[in-house]
Amino acid sequence: MSSVEIHSVVCEELNNIAPEVDMQSVNPSADLREALDIDSMDFLNFITAIHRRLGVDIPELDYPKLITLDGAITYLQKKLGGGNKG
Amino acid sequence: MALDRIRKRPEDHAGANLDDYERCAASFSWTQARSLLDGLPGGGLNIAHEAVDRHVQAGRGGKLALRWIGRDDQIRDFSYADLAAQTSRFANVLAQFGVGKGERVYSLLGRSPELYIAALGTLKNGSVFSPLFSAFGPEPIKARMSIGGAKVLITSEAFYLRKVEPWRKELDSLALVLLTECSGNPPTATVDLAAVMTAASETFETVRTEPEDMALVHFTSGTTGRPKGAVHVHEAVVAHHITGRFALDLHADDIFWCTADPGWITGTSYGIVSPLTNGATMIVDQAEFDAERWYRILQDQKVTVWYTAPTAIRMLMKAGAQIPKRFDLSRLRFISSVGEPLNPEAVVWGVEAFGKPIHDNWWQTETGGIMISNYPAMDVKPGSMGRPLPGITAGIVERRNGEICEIDKPMAMGELALRPGWPSMMRAYLHEEERYRKCFAGGWYLTGDLAMRDADGYYWFVGRSDDVIKSAGHLVGPFEVESALMEHPAVAEVGVIGLPDPAAGEMVKAYVALKEGFEANELLRKELLGHARKRLGPAVAPKDIAFRQNLPKTRSGKIMRRLLKARELGLPEGDISTLESEER
């Protein structure tokens, strides 16, 4: 999966949680919880949605790595590229 | 299946403040508890004086009072003397702008040092402090500031521009807006807090307040109507202090971490007042929950007493009991939890992860302090909230023919009730005399929580007796959520309930019926979700919205939330004789 595709999946899932936010305007290195005004529960729902969509296992301790848009994309790219997922 | 009682051995609680429950409860008096505090030098009682200045006057000014950890791990330390100086500066700022005794000062801040300084500085000035949760959106903020007649708001520039400025002119009472994190020139009609703080004097004589003078307003939610502003007075500090000693076992040499945000009452009573009156060192972390970070803070800051919440504990459980073993948590002496009942598995998990159980306790915004608790020197029955604090009389009651009767039979369900009269009991709901009066009957304060008491006197939470939703330990009033959704032009009717959630306890879900001419589709669902989030903020807005053609209603048109919930969960529908208009 290309980083563009991952980017679009991530944005789509974030949009499901905070539909009022224009994802284009979000600073890719900003803390998503602040940039999107989402709480920890929303963030958990985002992780769950990503897991369901991409089949990636995200251990609890890795959650902080997905706290920015850039971070999430880099992390998922690594996971998807390195694993057996085709 | 009930999990085994966790027995305490004498070596588990050597030196505990409450070393024998029965004896402490029998010998307790509030007069004696009051004598542990100093009072103002010239008479009167003031929370900020008990929390800060009296320690400085007694020669303990050099002791570390507050260690603040920034999101980026920077540390700012405040000794009791520093805190005295900073809170005096803030009080001087208020006085200089003509803010007087009894006037309302609101905060809308993340966990920044200014929040703690503003809270205590406001009390020093004799003004009333009302903290708002920073995850509130514009509408909950506006409602709460209007009800309290806010004179002052302290917030960040970013929050101000996004959540307050658009409606500010509708609130006539708001005379002063103090901003933190100013980017340059403060926006029109606001003041850069840092600039005025620098110019203010570090000495201030605490305004004389009497025990019954209003000190704090904390907002909470009911099933119907607007949020309720629970009023607490300076005398509450007597309970803040002693309950911290008993239920959290606070000692002056403790390093205490209360993870609650001061936007909720736990974060004020036990995240500001109690640790300071007890002369302890408190840790404040600006960042949001992060499992590894939290263990690191417990280790690096050598935290001895930790007060947290079930939602956080469940997330730590999810991360696994192996992770805490990588950290040196040997200093941790006592772990406590509040916000919603802690499931028995979590209590037992504490033993596996930390070598000690997690002690659940129970209280409400209205009670101002911990009422029922587990203690270091008392066996823990996993799943039970424990036994009443010394000085607190609790009971299980039911209404029979309009009378309130106490139920003595062990493990019989009824409403949890308390005999009024402890110092931190709310004195009013602001401008809501009728709602306040309804909380009391037959000589009891009725909590609205259903519970049972076993033969050993331990209390067990069952559920709410009303439709209030408990999400991540905070009450969400369905009416507030419904009102925001009703403002959308497509919405004809809406019912809001709480559904079980593995992490947060309950999550808010809304059921919406649309007006003629609107089509139920994914686009509109998202629009409504966004609409609610913009108005209410993430702490209150629904996490999910479902469409219905018609919502179940009574003859008088009241939406039957209970029925929506029973059906969603596949539970028995109960009495539906009042159902007039069926769900479709």
Contact A33 B543 (CB under 8 A): no
Contact B472 A40 (CB under 8 A): yes
Considering CB atoms only, which of A19, A40, A41 is closest to B526?
Answer: A19
Strand partners, B306: B257, B335
The C-alpha atoms of residue B331 and residue B509 are separated, in whole angstroms, by 41
Neighbour tally for B305: CB within 10 Å: 24
pTM of the model: 0.91
Give me the sign of the Cα torsion angle B513, B519, B522, B527.
negative
Q: What is the CATH number of the domain that holds A20?
A: 1.10.1200.10
Closest CA to B304 of B337, B336, B272, B276: B336
Owning domain of residue A73: 3-82
Determine the distance in angstroms separating the CA of B199 from the nearest CA of chain A, rounded to an integer: 32
Fold (topology level) of B10-449: Rossmann fold (3.40.50)
The C-alpha atoms of residue A12 and residue A17 are separated, in whole angstroms, by 9
* pLDDT > 70 in chain B, percent: 100
Largest pairwise CA distance in chain A: 36
Apex B358 CA angle, B356 and B362, nearest 5: 155
* Count of structural domains, chain A: 1
The C-alpha atoms of residue B104 and residue B143 are separated, in whole angstroms, by 14
For chain A, say whether B293 makes contact (Cβ under 8 Å).
Answer: yes
For chain A, say whether B501 makes contact (Cβ under 8 Å).
Answer: yes
Residues of B in contact with A21 (CB under 8 A): 530
Report whether pLDDT(B399) > 90: no
Closest CA to B553 of B504, B501, B513: B513
Class of domain B469-581: alpha beta
Interface test with B, best of A40, A47, A48, A67 (most B CBs within 10 A): A40
Domain ranges within chain B, ordered by starting residue: 10-449, 469-581
Give me the sign of the Cα torsion angle B513, B515, B519, B521.
negative
- The 10s digit of each residue's pLDDT in B407-447 is 999 999 999 999 999 999 999 999 999 999 999 999 999 99
Average pLDDT over residues B564-570: 90
Non-local (6+) Cβ contacts of B513 within 8 A are: B491, B492, B493, B494, B547, B548, B549, B550, B551
Report whether pLDDT(B149) > 50: yes
Per-residue pLDDT of chain A in tens (86 residues, 90 and over written 9): 888 999 999 999 999 999 999 999 999 999 999 899 999 899 999 999 999 999 999 998 899 999 999 999 999 999 998 544 43
The C-alpha atoms of residue B143 and residue A2 are separated, in whole angstroms, by 47
Q: Name residue B296's amino acid.
A: R
